Amino acid sequence: MGRNVTKSVRKLLLYAIMIVIAGMALAPLGWMVSASFMPTGQSSTFPPPFFPKQFTLDHYVTLFTRMNLARYLFNSAFLAISITVISLVVDSMAGYAFAKYRFRGRESIFKLLISSMVIPAQVTMLPLFLMLNKMGFINTYFGVIIPGMASIFGIFLIRQFALSIPDSYMEAARMDGASDFRIYWSLILPLCKPILITLAIFTFMGTWNDFLWPLIVMTDDSMYTLPVALANLSLEHVQDTELMMTGSVITIAPVLILFAAVQKYYISGIMAGGIKE
Amino acid sequence: MLSFTDFDIYSLANFANARIIWFKNYVELFQDPLFWKALKNTFYFLLVGGPLSIALSLAAALMLQSKLVRFKGLFRTAYFAPVVTTLVAVAVVWRFVYHPRYGILNYTLSLIGIGPVDWLGDPNWAMPAIILMAVWKNFGYNMIIFIAGLQNIPEELYEAASIDGARKLQPFWSITVPMLAPTTLFITIITMIGYFQLFAEPYVMTQGGPLNSTLSIVLLMYQRGFRWWNMGYSAAIAFVLFAIILVGGVAQSRTQRWVGT
């Protein structure tokens, strides 16, 4: 009996702590959504309201009509989608080649790639900026897309996955007269589907959320991505709480919805990356 | 190489305008009190925020693995939601959460009798405020890796321990902690490297202020390189950043060998 009581007390306590943490994790996001529907100035009253007293969509309208938000949304979506598609093709080709083709220097090139992963992105930014400047890609979509076209992490992930594909599959296909590209396209890619989906999600979200690089490359207002535009607006419109919350909602919503839809792949991707090290 | 030149805005048009000045950037850098301030701030952020974030993720992972708890998926999603959000956007949100008068944080604290704190305006509180937000943003990520690590510990170990009559916390210290050591080390390293690159939070929330109390290394590098176009000087900062991360990485692989993974 006494044992059961202590067990339910412990259970209750555990739930209480977990609910408090969940509340703290979600409260800022909940408040952000809620404040985006408040009329201007309402969030700056005391005591601060958590829910809107009147419901308005004004700020959404303002952002799209006066603040050029559609353009930023397009820039963000265009860059994230094109980088995801291009890097998936490049990474899968390279990863497959590193796993299944024998060529001179394969191991040493792969080791070189892996060891260059320790170099933080910020270190390569200055030379990269100068290179792209020389090529005339500053303030263009290419300036963001070119550095994102391939990722070593992606090549690594796909190589590890492709290693588990038996050689006999490819030999059988070759016997049937399939070309190298055919084998890659109709055999390897379908087999790698799970890892490709995981990688696609990571790349899309990573590009969408990226800040420093687009901030450096995109110098013209019309080229800004959502995070860059939002950071800029928030420094100008410090007082306009509700408007800024609306901008944040629009920036965060696509990735949060995507995450909710494909949570399983995303979480398993992190777990795989964490264990393999 | 760039860090050995006085490359600046005038050289941007023509590379020939840059002169090689060897170590002058580094000499200047090491004599710059702002650089030391930024380095100190970054280490403050890393050494306080890192352990805090890791401890919270471990606690959350242990709770989510507990047999007493149901609705695990729901809690996991809630804890993980901040991770996938856009850093800039949540930094904008947190700036208002921290508002001294109308922010929900101070209001909540006032309900339990804690006086208003000027989170982002007080040099003593600005960095803790940024740490709190960073921990909020990323503890869910490490939590997932911890859960993966916990799931890898064979159940039999705990069964054997309970047959041997192990007491309450004993299995935690004698089984969970040592079995989790490689995971913890991995998490420590990725967290430290990630935290060392602190940038967007101070950029959006404080611009490095007040009184440079939240100026980070990467923010300094950005300001010098891409605001003042002092590329040579900025490259020197980048190289110092790289060196420190490299030393950290080597220390990590040494410890890993020592732990025996």
CATH number at residue A69: 1.10.3720.10
Q: Which of A50, A122, A248 sits opposite B241 (nearest CB)?
A: A122
Q: Say yes or no for a CB contact (<8 Å) between B249 and A118.
A: yes
Residue A90 lies in a domain: yes
In chain B, what residues touch A234 (CB-CB under 8 Å)?
A: 92, 95, 204
pTM: predicted TM-score of the whole model, two decimal places: 0.87
ipTM (interface pTM): 0.85
* Shortest Cα–Cα distance, B67 to chain A (Å): 10
Residue B124, min C-alpha distance to chain A (Å)? 22
The verdict on residue B170 lying in a domain is yes
Q: Which long-range contacts (CB under 8 A, 24 or more apart) does A162-165 make?
A: A162/A95, A162/A96, A162/A99, A162/A100, A162/A188, A162/A192, A163/A99, A165/A99, A165/A100, A165/A191, A165/A192
- Which residues in chain B have Cβ-Cβ distances shorter than 8 Å to A143? none
> Does the distance separating the beta carbons of A248 and B90 come in below 8 Å?
yes
Structural domain including B106 reads 32-229
Task: For residue B190, give the chain A residue with the closest CA.
Answer: A274
For residue A2, the model assigns a pLDDT of 61
Cross-chain CB nearest to A14 (options B68, B218, B246): B68
Q: Kindly state whether residue A26 falls inside one of the protein's structural domains.
A: no
Whether B2 sits inside 8 A of A130 (CB atoms) is yes
Q: Give the tens place of pLDDT for each residue, A196-232.
A: 998 999 999 999 999 999 999 998 989 999 999 999 9
Q: Which residues contact A38 (CB under 8 A, 6 or more apart)?
A: A49, A52, A53, A54, A56, A242
CATH code of residue B185: 1.10.3720.10
Does any domain span residue A159?
A: yes
Q: Is the model's pLDDT at B9 over the cut of 70?
A: no
Establish if B218 belongs to a structural domain. Answer: yes
Q: Nearest chain A residue to B59 by CA: give it.
A: A18
Average pLDDT over residues B74-95: 92
Residues of chain A with Cβ-Cβ distance to B99 below 8 Å are: 44
For the ranges B33-37, B175-179, B225-229, the maximum mean pLDDT occurs at B33-37
Q: Which residues lie across from B20 on neighbouring strands?
A: B5
Query: A17-44 pLDDT, tens per residue?
Result: 999 999 999 999 999 999 899 988 888 8
Q: Is residue A103 part of a domain?
A: yes
Residue B195 included in any domain? yes
Instruction: Tell me if A46 is assigned to some domain.
Output: no
Residues 6+ apart with CB under 8 A from B52: B131, B135
Q: What domain range includes position A158?
A: 59-276
Residue A202 identity (one-letter amino acid): F
pLDDT in tens, B29-81: 888 889 999 999 999 999 999 999 999 999 999 999 888 888 888 999 999 99
Report the alpha-carbon angle B124-B236-A154, nearest 5: 90
Residue A273 neighbours by CB distance under 10 Å: 20
B166 in any annotated domain: yes
- Banded pLDDT at A263 (limits 50, 70, 90): confident
pLDDT tier for residue B2 given thresholds of 50, 70 and 90: low
**Count of the separate structural domains present in chain B:** 1
Q: What pLDDT is attached to residue B222?
A: 92
Segment A48-73, tens digit of pLDDT: 788 888 888 888 988 888 888 999 99
Q: How many residues does chain B have?
A: 261
pLDDT value at residue A273:
63
Question: How near does any CA of chain B get to the CA of A51, in Å?
Answer: 12
Give the total number of structural domains in chain A. 1
**Residue at A40 is within a domain:** no
